[in-house]
Amino acid sequence: MAVKPVLQALLLADHVYTDDETGKKVIAGTFDCLFGKEFPTEFYPITYAYICITDIHGEVSLVLRYVELATNEVLMECGPIPVRSDDPLASIDFAVSVPPIPMPHAGVFAFEVYAFNELLGFLRITVLPEEAGEDEHEGDIEEFP
């Protein structure tokens, strides 16, 4: 029986790169809201899915799906993406390029990560008409005392 991996992080971003000195991933331009002038359309700027996963025993094939939540229709699928680790306690993080994202209409969608045909986790994506105003949906950085 296969051990189900644990998804620790899933983000969509404009850029993901590895710092040469530290080996750390740098994730720039994260988002979970898309805007369209008209529908249907696609979000086609280069986009990366950053994934961090642990509890991998040997090799696991991941599948990334973009799903319309109202109907559970799969609009896009990426994979299989092979991920390997000899240490199940290690966190494996990486980025994959995402094809153009379908936006058939305004609504709520999800990027989902699967292993062994089981859902590991998801990122909710909201698609809005452009007139909704992007600046209304941007978060500020909060400082804690």
Q: Which sequence spans correspond to the domains of the chain?
A: 6-136
Q: How many Å apart are CA 39 and CA 4, to the nearest integer?
A: 37
Query: DSSP characters for 101-127?
Result: EEESSSEEEEEEEEETTEEEEEEEEEE
Q: Which two tokens stand for residue 17?
A: 């790169």
On whether the CB atoms of residues 129 and 106 are closer than 8 A, the answer is yes
For 6-136, which CATH superfamily applies?
Macroglobulin (MG2) domain (2.60.40.1930)
For the chain, the average pLDDT equals 91
62 φ/ψ angles, rounded to the nearest 5 degrees: -100, 150
**pLDDT above 70: percentage of residues in the chain:** 90
**Which pTM value belongs to this model?**
0.87
**Residue percentage of the chain with pLDDT more than 90:** 84
pLDDT tens for 95-113 read 999 999 999 999 999 999 9
Cβ atoms < 10 Å from Cβ of 130: 11
Q: What is the pLDDT of residue 105?
A: 96
The model's pLDDT over 59-79, given as tens digits with 9 standing for 90+, comes to 999 999 999 999 999 999 999
Pairing of strands 118-129, 33-36: parallel
**Sheet strand arrangement including 25-31:** 25-31, 6-18, 47-54, 92-98
pLDDT class for 137, splitting at 50, 70, 90?
very low
